[in-house]
Structure 1
Amino acid sequence: MSFKIAIIGAGSVGFTKKLFTDILCVPEFKDIEFALTDVSEHNLAMIKAILDRIVEANRLPTRVTATTNRREALEGARYIISCVRVGGLEAYADDIRIPLKYGIDQCVGDTICAGGILYGQRNIPVILDFCRDIREVADTNAKFLNYANPMAMNTWAAIEYGKVDTVGLCHGVQHGAEQIAEVLGAKSPKELDYVCSGINHQTWFIELRLNARPIGKDELVAAFEAHPVYSKQEKLRIDVLKRFGVYSTESNGHLSEYLPWYRKRPEEITRWIDMSDWIHGETGGYLRYSTETRNWFETEYPQFLEAASKPIDPAKRSNEHASHILEALETNRVYRGHFNVKNDGVITNLPQDAIIESPGFVDRFGINMAAGITLPEACAATCMSSINVQRMSVHAAISGDIDLLKLAVLHDPLVGAVSTPEEVWQMVDEMVVAQAQWLPQYAHAVPAAKERLSKSRVKTREWAGAARRSVRSIEELRAERAALKQAG
């Protein structure tokens, strides 16, 4: 087979490498072209060198091109994969820093909450530019695979306003299933059969079977509470399981910021999180992790390049959806996964226009969703709160309506649990002004926002958060990795 895959935001070096090697684990895909594009020439050069080394080491006919000209990369592409972060770590730092001044403590801040909503405002105009280029220069039947957060908002904009065949892809379901299989004593995650449904990062294991045996709430709670590691790392997640009766796919830290109950008071936050790793609830944890990862890669790049000389091992193909979807579409080998698409009857008790995450099957006819799923009422209610915020956020990003943007932030579950309307109005003004270079749709609103900020009487505080850690140096990271290696 010979076709073209374009990767936008290919400068996300580690993730691009993973997608690349996954796809090349499919025997029929050796003769395809990868067109890489990014706004950073530096990152593009690094990732192209790594992928070229992989191609050379495995003696493949695969072609790799790299350009900062997005339309050139998209021209004729059958599949387009996006993993962009508009504004990079600079804008992301403001997504965490500014809300903290108003008492809003986020672990990740890339899905909803104040940070995720502003992230969506930066991404959506760019997503629509991608869609325009796809319609104009890509293959007639091109499919857009979005990996970028905020997943639901980006996918919603691409489908509803970009008018491009789009699916959103995430790995939260797979990671949750791996946890459940482990606590239940399964030899392999493949022994676990499950149905997850909901919205991205708020998807729920509504049906579980281990070797065809149904698993109920009590057994699952007992298994997690008995686990020596997860019982400490997933305290909030286990508490939600006890109260809702079903396990969430999302990590302790992620889940904590989508709900109004666990991060509303600083003294409560430390009760529910675990500091052994950022993903369990650390304040600004993913920002710290991303910063350290970038610094580590820049410093240790020669080692990454050397590692690219190893043969591709199909046994190490990851469970990221992209390669499996492409394999199913092109070879008709059926793949079952959980995908982010417009609801349209898939989940009966969520709005039809919402972007949901639910099971589907892929073959040469496309992605076919299992329809008619009904969520438990508490799960649906929790999802509905986020869907309403997502809808307003998308409409605000499209229209550049700063008042609608403020209403979206006001209705966010965690923001509403922590902040007053006056604080939200000022916070959004401050975030829009700080990120104006990435928010062209709000250019008309920036002068008035600056004027309001100059006269504001809403008090803020300089606060690092309830559980903040400093970014570690390269020397500290090396010492930690050496210690872990020595320990086993």
Structure 2
Amino acid sequence: MSFKIAIIGAGSVGFTKKLFTDILCVPEFRDIEFALTDLSEHNLGMIKAILDRIVEANGLPTRVTATTDRRKALEGARYIISCVRVGGLEAYADDIRIPLKYGIDQCVGDTICAGGILYGQRNIPVILDFCRDIREVAATGAKFLNYANPMAMNTWAAIEYGKVDTVGLCHGVQHGAEQIAEVLGAKSRHELDYVCSGINHQTWFIDLRLNGRKIGKDELVAAFEAHPVYSRQEKLRIDVLKRFGVYSTESNGHLSEYLPWYRKRPDEITRWIDMSDWIHGETGGYLRYSTETRNWFETEYPQFLEAASKPIDPTKRSNEHASHILEALETNRVYRGHFNVRNEGIITNLPQDAIIESPGFVDRFGINMAAGITLPEACAATCMSSINVQRMSVHAAISGDIDLLKLAVLHDPLVGAVSTPEEVWQMVDEMVVAQAAWLPQYAHAVPAAKERLSKSTVKTREWAGAARRNVRSIEELRAEKAALKQTG
């Protein structure tokens, strides 16, 4: 079979390579076309060279094109995959830096909280541009697969306002299931069956079966507390398991910033996080990691290019959803996964318009969600807090209403636990002014925001956060990798 896949934000080199090799693990997909598009010609050139090397090394007829002209890339595409970060690391740095001035300490800042909400404001206008192009030039009935955060907000905007067939994809469920399988002593992840449902980054394992045997809260708590690594790295996550009765998909660091209880004071932050890796709660951890990864790739690019000469190994196909969804849609080999879609009765105790993440099955007829799931009340309550913030954030991004944006930030659980309304109003003004280049819908509001900032009496402080680490140099990264190789 032959069809076209467009990847927007293909300059996200490592992730694009993973998606590409995953898709080419499907034998029927050898003769397809990949159209790469990105704002950066430099990044496009690097990723195209890597993918061309893979195609050549494996003797494939696969075609790879690259262009900064997005509409050209989308022409005739049956599937469109987005992995964009609007504003890049420059804007992302402000998502972390400015809230810290107001006492808001984020680990990731890309889903909700102050950083995630502003990230959504940057992304949503661009998402709607993608959707317009998809409607106008892509293949009839094209499917939009969104990998970009903030997942729920982007998917919400694409479905409600972009009017494009959209599914949001994340790997949190898979990673959480791998942890559970490990602590329960499963020989393979395939021994674990589960129902995981909620909203993106707040999805809950509400039913667990190991080789058909139901796993209860007490057994799961004991298994995690006995694990030599997770008992230290996932303290907050285990605490939530004890109190809620179900395990969350999200890492210690991610989960900590979606709740109002664990990052509200510096001493509480250091009590609950672990500094062995950024994902366990480090202040601005993902920003540091992303910066180091970019620098490493730029410096070590020849090694990445050389590695692309190896044959594709289908046994190493990842558990990212995209390739499995395409395989099911095109070949009718059924795939079960967890997908971000509009609720509409799938979860009984969440709003109909919310973007939920829940189990579904894929075949030639599309993505078919399992309906009628009811979350435990505490899980639903926690999800509701985020859904209300997401809804206001999406509507603010569409309308350019800065007052609604401030109300969305004010209602964020962690922001509300830390900041006063006056601080929130000034913080949003400051973030909108700093990121004006990526916020065209707020252009009319920037002059007044600048005026308010010039007269403000709200005090701020320059604060690195409770658990900040400096970006490591290439030399430091090389030394660390060499040490790990020697000990491992």
Does the TM-score normalized on the shorter chain lie above 0.5? yes
Alpha-carbon offset, residue 409 of structure 1: 0.1
Alpha-carbon offset, residue 361 of structure 1: 0.1
CA-to-partner distance for each residue in 1:399-424, whole Å, 9 max, x for gaps? Answer: 00000000000000000000000000
Alpha-carbon offset, residue 184 of structure 1: 0.3
Alpha-carbon offset, residue 366 of structure 1: 0.1
Identity %: 95
Alpha-carbon offset, residue 226 of structure 1: 0.2
1:342 and 1:267 map into 2 onto residues whose CA distance is 38
1:245 and 1:141 map into 2 onto residues whose CA distance is 41
Which residue matches 1:257?
Answer: 257
2:249 and 2:212 map into 1 onto residues whose CA distance is 21
Alpha-carbon offset, residue 18 of structure 1: 0.0
Which residue matches 1:44?
Answer: 44
CA-to-partner distance for each residue in 1:116-148, whole Å, 9 max, x for gaps? Answer: 000000000000000000000000010000000
CA-to-partner distance for each residue in 1:230-286, whole Å, 9 max, x for gaps? Answer: 000000000000000000000000000000000000111000000000000000000
SS in 2 for 1:350: coil
For residues 12-161 of structure 1, the aligned pairs below 5 Å read 12-161=12-161
Alpha-carbon offset, residue 348 of structure 1: 0.1
2:380 and 2:147 map into 1 onto residues whose CA distance is 24
Q: Which TM-score applies when normalising by structure 2?
A: 1.00
Which residue matches 1:223?
Answer: 223
Equivalent residue pairs, number: 488
Alpha-carbon offset, residue 193 of structure 1: 0.1
Alpha-carbon offset, residue 364 of structure 1: 0.2
1:218 and 1:17 map into 2 onto residues whose CA distance is 41
Runs of at least 4 residues of structure 1 off by over 3 A? Answer: none
CA-to-partner distance for each residue in 1:338-366, whole Å, 9 max, x for gaps? Answer: 00000000000000000000000000000
1:237 and 1:27 map into 2 onto residues whose CA distance is 40
Alpha-carbon offset, residue 163 of structure 1: 0.0
Alpha-carbon offset, residue 74 of structure 1: 0.1
2:308 and 2:447 map into 1 onto residues whose CA distance is 49
2:188 and 2:147 map into 1 onto residues whose CA distance is 26
2:292 and 2:192 map into 1 onto residues whose CA distance is 34
CA-to-partner distance for each residue in 1:412-468, whole Å, 9 max, x for gaps? Answer: 000000000000000000000000000000000000000000000000000000000
2:428 and 2:372 map into 1 onto residues whose CA distance is 38
Alpha-carbon offset, residue 29 of structure 1: 0.0
2:187 and 2:87 map into 1 onto residues whose CA distance is 43
For residues 19-418 of structure 1, the aligned pairs below 5 Å read 19-418=19-418
Q: Which TM-score applies when normalising by structure 1?
A: 1.00
CA-to-partner distance for each residue in 1:200-239, whole Å, 9 max, x for gaps? Answer: 0000000000000000000000000000000000000000
1:370 and 1:442 map into 2 onto residues whose CA distance is 39
1:478 and 1:222 map into 2 onto residues whose CA distance is 38
CA-to-partner distance for each residue in 1:140-197, whole Å, 9 max, x for gaps? Answer: 0100000000000000000000000000000000000000000000011110000000
2:179 and 2:120 map into 1 onto residues whose CA distance is 29
Which residue matches 2:434?
Answer: 434
SS in 2 for 1:426: helix
1:179 and 1:409 map into 2 onto residues whose CA distance is 32
1:250 and 1:139 map into 2 onto residues whose CA distance is 35
2:82 and 2:187 map into 1 onto residues whose CA distance is 34
1:141 and 1:23 map into 2 onto residues whose CA distance is 20
1:197 and 1:214 map into 2 onto residues whose CA distance is 17
CA-to-partner distance for each residue in 1:268-316, whole Å, 9 max, x for gaps? Answer: 1000000000000000000000000000000000000000000000000
1:267 and 1:162 map into 2 onto residues whose CA distance is 43
1:77 and 1:310 map into 2 onto residues whose CA distance is 28
1:241 and 1:440 map into 2 onto residues whose CA distance is 42
1:39 and 1:407 map into 2 onto residues whose CA distance is 32
1:318 and 1:309 map into 2 onto residues whose CA distance is 19
2:312 and 2:35 map into 1 onto residues whose CA distance is 20
Q: Aligned-pair RMSD on alpha carbons? A: 0.2
1:280 and 1:194 map into 2 onto residues whose CA distance is 24
Alpha-carbon offset, residue 323 of structure 1: 0.0
SS in 2 for 1:315: helix
CA-to-partner distance for each residue in 1:307-344, whole Å, 9 max, x for gaps? Answer: 00000000000000000000000000000000000000
1:267 and 1:309 map into 2 onto residues whose CA distance is 49
In structure 2, list runs of 5 or more residues that go unmatched: none
Alpha-carbon offset, residue 487 of structure 1: 0.2
In structure 1, list runs of 5 or more residues that go unmatched: none
SS in 2 for 1:275: coil
Alpha-carbon offset, residue 43 of structure 1: 0.2
SS in 1 for 2:300: helix
Alpha-carbon offset, residue 71 of structure 1: 0.1
1:133 and 1:142 map into 2 onto residues whose CA distance is 11
Alpha-carbon offset, residue 384 of structure 1: 0.0
1:338 and 1:454 map into 2 onto residues whose CA distance is 47
2:187 and 2:71 map into 1 onto residues whose CA distance is 47
1:420 and 1:68 map into 2 onto residues whose CA distance is 43
SS in 2 for 1:327: helix
SS in 2 for 1:110: coil
SS in 2 for 1:259: coil
SS in 1 for 2:353: coil
SS in 2 for 1:429: helix
